[in-house]
Every structure is written in C-alpha cells, then in structure tokens.
Amino acid sequence: MNWLANPYKSIVSLICLSLLITSCKKEGDFNLGGNDGSNVGMTFTDTLTLLNETILLNDSIISAEPAYLSFGGYTDPGATGITFAEAYTTLSLLQENKDYSGATIDSAVLYMNYYYAYGDTLAGQDFAVHQIATQLDGSVPYQPTTSFITYDPTIIGSIDNFKGIPSSAKNIRIPLTSSFASSLLSSADDRSNVDFNSNFYGIVIKANNNSAKNVVRANFTFVDYINALTPYTRLTVYFKRGAVGDSSVFLLTQYTPSFNKVITDRSATPLSSLISNNDRISASALNNKCYIQAGSGVVTKVTMPNLLNFKTIDGASVIINKATLIIPLDETSQANKYGTVSDVGLLELNPDNTYKYRNGYVSYIQSNTPNNSGNYYNQVWGLSAITGVDYRFDITRYVQFLVNGQYTNDGFIINPYQNSFYVNRAVLNGSNAVKDKMRLEIYYTKVK
C-alpha cells in the first residue's frame, strides 16, 4: 500500500534534455515541444494504439487533514451510482481553561461555511451531525475508505431539505441538541485543548436519511475571520449564568486530526464490477467509455503497447518533436449537472498497477522544461466543469524517454489531483470511440 501518494511533490530531473537533443541532432532544425509544423521533415501521426480500462485503485488515496470538509451525497445513475461523503474532524477551543460552572444552555449551532455544492443542487439535501466515538490520531494517514473510526448513532444535530448554491460562499446553519451542548461544555470545562481532545473526540457531518442529492464542500475555520463580520465555520454554544448571556466558540481547525470518508454504491451502474482494489473493466466493455471519480479511486489507465516502434523507423533514430495526449469528454455524460473533475494528472504505474515512485516521490508525468530552479513540475490539466470539452497533456519529454529506454513503458492513469476532498466524476471517450476519440498526436523526425 502506498501511504505517501502526494501529487504536489516535484521531482528533480537528473537528465539534461539538451544533451539528448545535442547527441541526436544532425542537419535540420529540431524542436522538442515546439510549435506544430515549425520544422522541415517532421511526420505526424495520431494512430498509435492506446489501450484503455477503468480501474479501481483505492488503497493509496490519503484524505487525512484535507483542505476542505466534504459531506452529503449525490446520485449519478448513468455513471458512478450513489456516492456519500462524510467529514470527520476534531474541535479546538477558542478559549482554553474556561470555567463553565453554573452554565445553562440556551442553544447550540454548527455553522459550516461552504463554497461549493455538487450534484442536484435544485433538490434538498438532509444532513446530520454525530459525535465521534474513536479518538482521531494526527499521525495516521486516514483514507476515504477508513472504516475503523466510529461514531455514536445518536443524532446531535440535523437540517433537512438544504439546497446548496454552487460556487457560492454561504453558511449552513445546523441546530444542535441542548443535551449535546451541555456535554460539550462539560468536556471543555477548565481544560486545555490537549485535555479537551482527550475527552471529546470530535464530530462527523454526513447525509441523513440516506439523502443523496448533493455534496457540500466546506471550509475549515478561518482564524483571521473570528473577530470579523465575514461568516466562518465554527460551533457556537449559547448559554447563561443567571440572567447573563454568554457564548463559547469551538473551532474546526485545519491541520488538526480530520479526514473525509467516501462511500459508494455502483451496483446499478456500468461500473458494478469495480468492488475491490485493482478490479478493472476494459473500455470496449463500457461502450468505449472510461471513467474517473475523485475520492473513490475510480481512474482510467492508458497503455501504449506499440510505442517502442518509434525507437527506429526505416533504420533511423527518432526524435519526438511533439506528443500531445488528448482526452475528450463524453458529450452525453451530463457534465452540466455532474461537474467534471477539474484537475487531473497522469500518474505512472508499475506493472502491478501500484503507483510508480522516482526519487522518493510519486511519479506524475512532468513538464517538458524545468523552472528557474532546474526542477520539473507535475503537469495538471484544469478543466472548466461546464465549458471544457477535453483534457490535454504535452507529454513530449515523457514519450521521448520511453522511446530511448530511459523510462519503462508500464502505462499511467488519468488521476484526479484533489482526491482528499473532491467527489466529482468525469466520463471520457475511449481510444476506439466512434467520435472524438482519445488519442496521442505525435510529430516526429527521423535522424540518420
């Protein structure tokens, strides 16, 4: 199991690409990654065989300490089925060592400041809050599939028929029970944060009543906003001592123990046979379609079995001038309702479909040229959820290294970059689609 699958780490290349060009270059103007058609003697092809399959690889996704908390559910019957997201998080004291003796509860509210809702946002979503029964550990790399963290089935707060507003910073106001609020103040009474977290393990926010209309992505507490007018995520208990009103704020703080859990039901979908890690379905069995879904481990694998035919052509060595992977979206996949995965990368695999690592970091296909520090960065293609029509990657350097034998040709996956808090999906056209198929466009030059 690959615990350290972090896509944001750049790999420092130890191979100088200019040496490759110099060693191969003879007469003529060669341009690795240059503009199409800018060189004399180049040949174009887009008929290289690509093999596609949709795979479940869910044993290496880390969702611990995510950037956002995701909770709710959505139903996508034509593709990924039913998906639920649950947000598990500890609470922190805004004011430590506070005396709550003699406090009488008025009310308690969980405010979740959200900025994104996904799914059928015209339909109402039901949410519930529970108290976590297992202490979270900041050293554990929790995953979306983590099942050993449990919660009390008693609902301590809920809201029904909530209609999320896509791409809008709003608050969800979830009333909490007085009995829970009283217990929370008892756990916090005259305690530091360390002592408080030893007595109170946190909360989980999830769908209620199996409601699966939309998933909300919410912010943690922005500490800078606590004393400002801007709405922010927090849990507030309102109480009195005698006739004097008071309140206490509990924070949902990023980088404290927390994680997002994802639960899926694909039983009534084309992906129903994706049950265990490394299960796979060929694109031909899916009507020449491929699937990816953030958070769930559903990814598309691409292999290029005949690529080494470019090692020599007609007895000549080959320079790859340009290699662009084009991954079109299936235009019938209701992308306007189920927004596509906005950021994806190409992650190299080993022959057994585990993640490939280089220099200690998970190996995403990188840029063709280094930055000012001499480092190559991971390529990420960002796609508008509504207006985008395809993902495109310039993989010239990667293809040249495969042809030269510097990398092994074991394939790669089209992988969501934000697996820790996204649950978006995308349906892709396979390489044998009748219209607008997935393809690798190559411009190359033969060198005698």
Q: Please give the Cα distance from 157 to 177 (Å, whole number).
A: 6
pTM (global) more than 0.75: yes
Interval 292-307 mean pLDDT = 97
Q: For position 28, what pLDDT does the model report?
A: 32
**pLDDT at 178 exceeding the cut of 50:** yes
d(CA 41, CA 443): 10
Higher pLDDT, residue 39 or 221: 221
Asked if pLDDT for residue 382 goes beyond 80, the answer is no
**Mean pLDDT for all residues in the chain:** 88
How confident is the model over 9-62, as pLDDT tens digits?
A: 333 333 333 333 333 333 333 344 444 444 558 999 999 999 999 999 999 999
Query: Between these two residues, 311 and 7, which has the higher pLDDT value?
Result: 311
Model pLDDT, residue 224 = 61
Spatial CB neighbours of 148, under 8 Å, sequence gap ≥ 6: 134
pLDDT for the residue numbered 384: 52
Banded pLDDT at 335 (limits 50, 70, 90): confident
The distance between the two most distant Cα atoms of the chain, rounded to a whole number of Å, is: 93
What would the pLDDT profile of 104-149 be if each residue is shown by its tens digit? 999 999 999 998 899 998 899 999 999 999 999 999 999 999 999 9
Q: What residue ranges in 90-189 does DSSP mark as E strands?
A: 92-93, 104-119, 125-131, 157-162, 170-176
List the domain boundaries for the chain: 17-59+277-447, 69-263
- β-partners of residue 108 are 176, 237
Residue % of the chain over a pLDDT of 90: 74
3-state SS of 382-414? ECCCCCCCEEEEECHHHHHHHHHCCCCCCCEEE
Asked whether the predicted pLDDT for residue 205 surpasses 70, the reply is yes
Tell me the two tokens of residue 288: 């020449």
Cα distance between the two ends of the chain:
46
Phi, psi of 375 (to 5 degrees): -100, 145
Burial of residue 1 (number of CB atoms within 10 Å: 0-12, 13-18, 19+): exposed
Which stretch of 84-98, 156-170, 180-194, 280-294 has the lowest confidence by average pLDDT?
Answer: 156-170
Of 31 and 274, more confident? 274
pLDDT (tens digit per residue) in 65-96: 999 999 999 999 989 999 999 999 999 999 99
* CA–CA separation, 74 and 76 (whole Å): 7
For residues 260-288, give the mean pLDDT: 97
Q: pLDDT: is 413 or 39 the higher one?
A: 413
* pLDDT at residue 428 in the model: 96
- Sign of the alpha-carbon dihedral angle for 240, 241, 246, 249: negative
Residue 3 has pLDDT above 80, yes or no: no
Closest Cα partner for 301 from 431, 401, 437? 431
Residue 333 has pLDDT above 90, yes or no: no
Q: Tell me how crowded residue 360 is: count the other CB atoms within 10 A of its CB.
A: 8
Q: List Cβ neighbours of 326 (8 Å cut-off, separation of 6 or more).
A: 390, 391, 392, 438, 439, 440, 441
What is the Cα–Cα distance from 78 to 75, expressed in whole angstroms?
Answer: 9
Please report the pLDDT score of residue 227 as a whole number: 57
What's the rounded mean pLDDT across residues 358-374? 89
Strand partners of residue 429: 289
Q: Is the pLDDT of residue 274 over 70?
A: yes
Query: Nearest CA to 287 among 425, 435, 431, 433?
Result: 433
Q: What confidence score (pLDDT) does residue 377 get? A: 81
